Amino acid sequence: MHDARKAGKSRRWIDGEQFDRPFHGMRAPRVDDADADADDFELARQQILRSASHWSLHMHRTEYFSHLTAAIIWDLPLPAWGALSRELHVSSPGRATRMQGATGHQVRPSLVTIVTDPKHGLRVTNPATTWAMLAVMLRHPYDVVAVGDAIVRTPRIPGPNGRVEHPPLGSIARLAAAMMAGRRVGVRTLREALPLVRPGAASRPETWARLTLVDAGLPEPLLDFDVYDDRGTFVGCVDLVYPEWKIAIEYEGDQHRTDPVQWQRDIEKHEKLADIGWRVVRVPRNQLFLEPGVFIGRVRALLRSRG
């Protein structure tokens, strides 16, 4: 706002309806999300990214984004409440900010690695540090593992001619280094989560599905598994799989239902799997998160019938 007054703009123009007021003394072009084709979580995420961009214009040289805000900048999986709070998390080695709209943290420099993220150009904790900081904020231990899974995952195009899309955001070694960087609140949660991190989970629900089965005493399924028939023809890539028993487990998120191309692709893949003797367990959201006993029972019964 000070810059606008120096440029000769009137106070009425500065306070006009064309601007939002993201923080005290700051104006930004108003963005209308009313018609955006996104759910509440995605709208909140977009707003946080805009707020972080606005904050960065006047960010102190010692400040950086951390915790839930860093997770959103890196596009790491969070439960819905992680974005819907819409608060920025800003850390510094010195006095924590008290500006409205942000939660300030004072953090020892030895506990963090700070980088500039390549997509948004924001000063932020690196992915491994972000994972370590989230241990005290995420309410369920599965979500701590899910963030770790997302960091070490190597996105790829499945099939015989597949390729790696881009390198992972981090590694098990980097997660371990962040965990052991010094005295950190939540280190017990991190120590329990680290051995459970796997590189194949493509989403938070896939992590939850794997851990739900393991905690129920069932064998740990493989992740991101390419299935081929007896002639070596590629059939499809499966979220979770027991190859010995030819059991595929697929999480059915909303995009599988609302995207007609994805819906058709799923139908064709599941039919091909059935043709070569595989059984597919399709897991809807409510069953995984609200009725896990039903999901566990279905998989246990199928393993027994095929054992």
- Residue ranges making up the domain that contains 160: 31-199
End-to-end CA distance of the chain: 70
Q: Do residues 186 and 270 share a domain?
A: no
E strand or H helix at 210: helix 204-215
Gap between the Cα atoms of 126 and 193, Å rounded: 18
CATH number of the domain bearing residue 271: 3.40.960.10
Q: Do residues 212 and 194 share a domain?
A: no
Q: Do residues 61 and 163 share a domain?
A: yes
Q: Is 140 inside any structural domain?
A: yes
Q: Do residues 39 and 179 share a domain?
A: yes
Gap between the Cα atoms of 307 and 305, Å rounded: 6
Q: Indicate left, alpha or beta for 69 from its phi (over 0: left) and psi (-120 to 50: alpha).
A: alpha
Structure tokens belonging to residue 265: 């692709």
Q: Do residues 190 and 212 share a domain?
A: no
How many alpha carbons lie under 13 Å from residue 278 in its C-beta half-sphere? 28
Domain termination residue (choose one: 147, 170, 199):
199
Q: Do residues 76 and 164 share a domain?
A: yes
Domain total of the chain: 2
Q: Model-level pTM? A: 0.86
Q: Do residues 147 and 95 share a domain?
A: yes
Q: Is 277 inside any structural domain?
A: yes
Domain termination residue (choose one: 199, 224, 248):
199
Q: Do residues 165 and 219 share a domain?
A: no
For 135, other C-beta atoms within 10 Å of its C-beta total 22
Q: Do residues 227 and 150 share a domain?
A: no
Which residues are within 8 A (CB) of 295 and not within 5 positions of it... i.e. 6 or more apart? Answer: 209, 212, 281, 283, 287, 288
Gap between the Cα atoms of 279 and 40, Å rounded: 35
Domain termination residue (choose one: 199, 222, 252):
199
Structure tokens belonging to residue 181: 């960087």
pLDDT confidence of residue 4: 46
pLDDT confidence of residue 307: 78
Label the pairing between strands 102-106 and 88-92.
Answer: parallel
Gap between the Cα atoms of 294 and 300, Å rounded: 10
Q: Is 15 inside any structural domain?
A: no
Gap between the Cα atoms of 162 and 25, Å rounded: 50
Angle at alpha carbon of residue 293, lines to 142 and 144, rounded to 5°: 0
Mean pLDDT, consecutive 10-residue stretches, the chain (307 aa), reads 51 50 48 51 90 94 97 95 83 92 95 97 98 96 98 94 92 98 95 97 96 98 97 96 97 68 87 97 95 97 93
* Numbers of helices and strands, H then E, in the chain: 14, 11
* Integer-rounded Cα radius of gyration of the chain: 23
Q: Is 10 inside any structural domain?
A: no
Residue type, 47: Q
